[in-house]
Amino acid sequence: MKIPAKLIEDTARELMARAAIEIPADYREGVRLARDRETGKLSRFVLTEMLRNWDVAVAERRPMCADTGLPRYYVRLGNEAQVAGGLVALERALRRATADATAVIPLRPNRVHPLTREDPNTNVGLHAPEITYAAEPDANWIDVTTVHKGGLFGSDYRMLFPGDGIPGIKRFFLDTLIESGKRGLACQPAIVGVGIGGAKDTCVRLGKEAACLRLVGSRNPDPHAAALEDELTTLGNYIGIGAMGFAGTSMVVATHVELAYTHTGGMPVAIHQFCLSSRRATARIHPDGRVEPRDDPAWFTDYYRRTGIE
């Protein structure tokens, strides 16, 4: 049984609304805990107002932040899943859903031609929205996740070398957070994704996925990565910058580290901060027409992190 493209389009349109309006429960709880721990008066005030703002957004069905970022999709394809019309129909459905959501929700039309600055007012254009794919064995469903992530600041990349080791990663992490906090280049508190290894494009991709597609409270199954996650979170909340750059201890809600095997001579590292408007929504589409809303994108499956030869 094939999944109709129209069902994918309708689901994606609904996901766009959920992502823009409703903060994921795991991040909201992380912010609440940060607020309760925060000793800085202004930072605590900001966190309290953030929580109130999210309540108002849900009650009034309006985006919780005026800047709805750059909408994008992550699609996990079950190996046995079939889409009527194939992947071309799927991509057309996602592009139509994006344009419709931009007009109806509404989303801010952020996508412009990089040279002429022409804005089609749809968030659709050259390589927009981005669609990232992953496969999953023994499944006949499709998971669609939409993420609205800012596309300007809060991210950085550095080519480190084996001799820099973990201390070099920590130094880069702190350099990035301090610069973004002091200059207002990210809206903290943030979920910070750290991609380590692979080629440059691999670690940048993994850092963004780590920030956007893992639940607050999750841990990397690699014990070395999990230990680094804990230490980086502690360091990030020790530098004295809290919510929205005010003095405090609530810059980092969680740190998620993802790894890729890399060249023997290097250690590329990328950092992405998923800001206070951590917008994400997921649904699983079954071939019988059922659409199952899901809290967890479950992007980093055992298959996705596989290391062996199949």
Q: What is the pTM of this model?
A: 0.94
- C-alpha–C-alpha distance, residues 296 and 310, integer Å: 27
Spatial contact of 106 and 62, defined as CB atoms under 8 Å apart: no
What letter would DSSP give residue 2? Answer: P
> Percentage of residues in the chain with pLDDT exceeding 70?
100
Quick one: tokens of 241?
């910058």
Q: Which of 30-44, 103-117, 158-172, 173-187 has the lowest mean pLDDT?
A: 173-187
Q: Is 134 exposed, middle or buried (0-12, 13-18, 19+ CB in 10 A)?
A: middle
238's CB contacts (< 8 A; 6+ apart) are: 249
| pLDDT band, very low/low/confident/very high, at 67 (cuts 50, 70, 90) | confident
Pairing outcome for strands 70-78 and 131-136: parallel
- Mean pLDDT, residues 168-174: 97
Other beta carbons less than 10 A from residue 167's beta carbon = 10
Mean pLDDT (the chain) is 94
Tens digits of per-residue pLDDT, 186-237? 788 889 999 999 999 999 999 999 999 999 999 999 999 999 999 999 999 9
In the predicted structure, residue 153 carries a pLDDT above the cut 90: no
